[in-house]
Amino acid sequence: MNEPHISLPMYDWPELQCHTDQFHALLKASLGDRGFNASNRLERDRENFDIWQDKHLLMSQTCGLPFVKFLKEKVSLIGTPAYDIECGAGSYYSVIVVHKDASASSMDDLKGKKYAYNENTSQSGYYALQYTLSLMENAATHFGASCKSGSHRQSIQAVASGKADFAAIDAISWKHATRHEAESRHLRVIGKTPPTPGLPYITRPRSANECDTLHMAVIDAMMALNETTRDALLLTGFAKTNLIDYRVIEERMQCVQQEFGPMS
């Protein structure tokens, strides 16, 4: 694709795609008003890493961990959405979930238990859990077996079905799940991870002035959302963030590696 393009892959659940499409239309219009023309089609077909590193990328959303580990020298940061969760603007956390009938009531009760994770490049589903466990006494002996699920939604399903004992679920995904995923009714929350900067919007390498313009375009598009779509997507604002804000993720990765050794 040679046209500048937009992708919004992080919370593009089937139940939400009509709302994501509405947000995309407003983003495209707001960007166009500022001289940034984009393809009419929201990019959904390619692998995320291919999209994020594409020289024609106008805007996408990535996870904090791939941003600091793989992308920060290859893209420019636009800002970070704020969501309707109990956390500071532009930040988020993960909830630790178990089956509602499990005996576990805290992280201490999960020693040796099997956990599901979405991807090993996920901040919220993988490294946030590793970091939280690294803070516990005898952390190195805490891990049991693990299984890769492929998505937060599939991790929820894995715990509900008994394929795994617990999982760390991004708080935004968890709130979506309580609305749209029936298996969430079989789970309960027993803990939270420390908050980190949220999932940033990125673009191909650009000047600071261009990024400021893109930032304002996102704000205007969010303000133009109707109440139904804003509520469906849980969007409440768009925080101005920078690389320094995301250093905490790198620091916590180092803590995890010191405690458990290099991780893939």
Q: What is the pLDDT of residue 235?
A: 98
Same domain assignment for residues 100 and 175: yes
Question: Quick one: which of 149, 146, 148, 158 has its CA closest to 183?
Answer: 158
Q: What is the pLDDT of residue 260?
A: 75
pLDDT over 70, % of the chain: 97
Does residue 264 lie in a domain region?
A: no
Number of separate domains in the chain: 2
DSSP 95-113: EEEEETT-S--SGGGGTT-
Residue 264 DSSP SS3? coil
Same domain assignment for residues 184 and 105: yes
Does residue 109 lie in a domain region?
A: yes
Specify whether the backbone of 45 is left (phi greater than 0), alpha (psi in -120 to 50) or beta: alpha
Same domain assignment for residues 138 and 221: no
Q: What is the pLDDT of residue 140?
A: 67
Does residue 161 lie in a domain region?
A: yes
Same domain assignment for residues 143 and 208: no
Choosing from 151, 170, 194, the residue where a domain stops is: 194
Does residue 261 lie in a domain region?
A: no
Same domain assignment for residues 165 and 220: no
Q: Please state, rounded to an integer, the average pLDDT across all residues of the chain.
A: 95
Is pLDDT above 70 for 251? yes
Does residue 129 lie in a domain region?
A: yes
DSSP structural state of residue 112: T
Angle at 91 between CA 242 and CA 249, to 5 degrees: 65
Does residue 244 lie in a domain region?
A: yes
Q: How confident is the model at residue 262 (pLDDT cuts 50, 70, 90)?
A: low
pLDDT over 90, % of the chain: 87
* H or E segment to which residue 205 belongs: none
Of the candidate ranges 25-34, 139-148, 191-200, the one whose mean pLDDT is the lowest: 139-148
User: Two tokens at 129?
Assistant: 């859990």
User: Two tokens at 167?
Assistant: 């999982």
Same domain assignment for residues 78 and 27: yes
Task: Write the CA distances from 254 to 156, 167, 260, integer angstroms.
Answer: 28, 22, 10
Same domain assignment for residues 106 and 186: yes
Same domain assignment for residues 240 and 148: no
Q: What is the pLDDT of residue 259?
A: 74
Same domain assignment for residues 189 and 214: no
Is pLDDT above 80 for 137? no
CB 252 within 8 A of CB 124: no
pTM above 0.85, yes or no: yes
Does residue 181 lie in a domain region?
A: yes
Q: What is the pLDDT of residue 138?
A: 73
CATH number at residue 216: 3.40.190.10
Does residue 259 lie in a domain region?
A: no
* H or E segment to which residue 68 belongs: none
Residue 89 DSSP SS3? coil
State the residue for tokens 């994501």: 20
Is pLDDT above 80 for 237? yes
Tell me the per-residue pLDDT of 167-221, one tens digit each, with 9 for 90 and over.
999 999 999 999 999 999 999 999 999 999 999 999 999 999 999 999 999 999 9
Choosing from 194, 213, 240, the residue where a domain stops is: 194
Same domain assignment for residues 132 and 175: yes
Same domain assignment for residues 104 and 183: yes
Domain range spanning residue 181?
A: 94-194
User: Two tokens at 208?
Assistant: 């600071």
Same domain assignment for residues 132 and 116: yes
Distance CA 167, CA 217 (A): 36
Beta-bridge partners for 99: 187
Choosing from 151, 172, 194, the residue where a domain stops is: 194
